[in-house]
Amino acid sequence: MVWKGKKVLVTGAGGFIGSHLCESLVEAGADVTAMLHYSSRSDWGNLEFLSPDLRAGLKVVAGNIEDGHFVMHHVKGQEAVFHLAALIAIPFSYVAPLSYVRTNVEGTLNVLEAARQQGIDRVVHTSTSETYGTAIYSPIDENHPLQGQSPYSASKIGADKIAESYHRAFSLPVITIRPFNTYGPRQSARAVIPTIISQALSEPEIRLGSLAPIRDLNFVKDTVTAFLAIAAADGAIGKTINVGAGKGITIGELATLILGIMGCRKPVVEDSARLRPSASEVFQLVCDNRLALEMAGWKPSFTLKEGLHQAIDFVARHPGLYKASHYAL
């Protein structure tokens, strides 16, 4: 698929991955409509970090993914839809589970139905490795069972299955991409890497949840490259495809690595307020990314240290974005 001149809608465009995806699509010459969650402040979220010339290449619309009429109006006339809009914070899903069903399940249904009625050529739906729960075997391939270990993961399983049903029932050309833990510049304070970095810069100690879980960390530019490559692969239609680095690291090891890069000596402690309920904690997520290579020729190119240097630089240059002393749900 050649992106130059292609009419593309990105939902969740103001988010972490969404903003990087919009940036790459504009650079590729696509005609991009960036859909944001409405705010009376007219805030463009992470799109504010794009250079002025790239921002000028975007058509920005604001509304609510839960409003089917709004979604239908803006899907009309598009050729491809990248659906990233979602509530993603796991701790907040314990507090407000209904919000996750409305945004992640009903919002996804609105996008899929609009795409079906408007005859969209390609829909890319965004899943999450959290749908797998704690690994039954590792690395995790796309045949691994799905386990709803948090309201968030359950809502994403529901969204993924609706996407699957729209392909099977209506032949909608939908692809589900299942990213493992993406990190890099612009990531919010609710994620572990910005949490470690911001505390290292300003707090006496590093306070985290459990240090034992193993995560597969994929740099955001690699994740975006995967989105574009997989979206362009006709053989990927109807499939779910993992995107990850294929390597695991414990949270404790990650904290030690970041502190070492920063030349910082501070204690790392478990904060009981940040622990997940015991049966909800996902202890191991390592990606089997062979299908992405087979289907789209994609494999990651950034090392963890290379990506972490960019993440550290971003947090250091934008201290006002991070409240290091506050636990962000």
Give the pLDDT confidence score for residue 329 in this predicted structure. 67
Alpha-carbon gap, residue 287 to 247, rounded angstroms: 7
Residues 6 or more apart whose Cβ sits within 8 Å of residue 20: 46, 184, 186, 220, 221, 223, 224
* pLDDT band with cut points at 50, 70 and 90 for residue 323: confident
Q: Is the pLDDT of residue 178 over 90?
A: yes
Q: How confident is the model at residue 306 (pLDDT cuts 50, 70, 90)?
A: very high
DSSP structure class, residue 62: E
pLDDT per position as a tens digit, 269-280: 999 989 999 899
Give the domain ranges of the chain.
7-187+218-245+286-301
Q: How far is CA 105 from CA 34, 47, 109, 111, in A?
A: 20, 25, 6, 10
pTM of the model: 0.96
What's the CA gap between 266 and 245, in Å, rounded? 28
pLDDT digit string (tens) for 7-55? Answer: 999 999 999 999 999 999 999 999 999 999 998 888 999 999 999 999 9
Q: Which CATH class is domain 7-187+218-245+286-301?
A: alpha beta
Phi, psi angle pair for 207, to nearest 5°: -105, 120
What's the mean per-residue pLDDT of the chain?
Answer: 96
Rounded alpha-carbon distances, angstroms, from residue 159 to 41, 145, 163: 29, 16, 6
pLDDT at 325 over 80: no
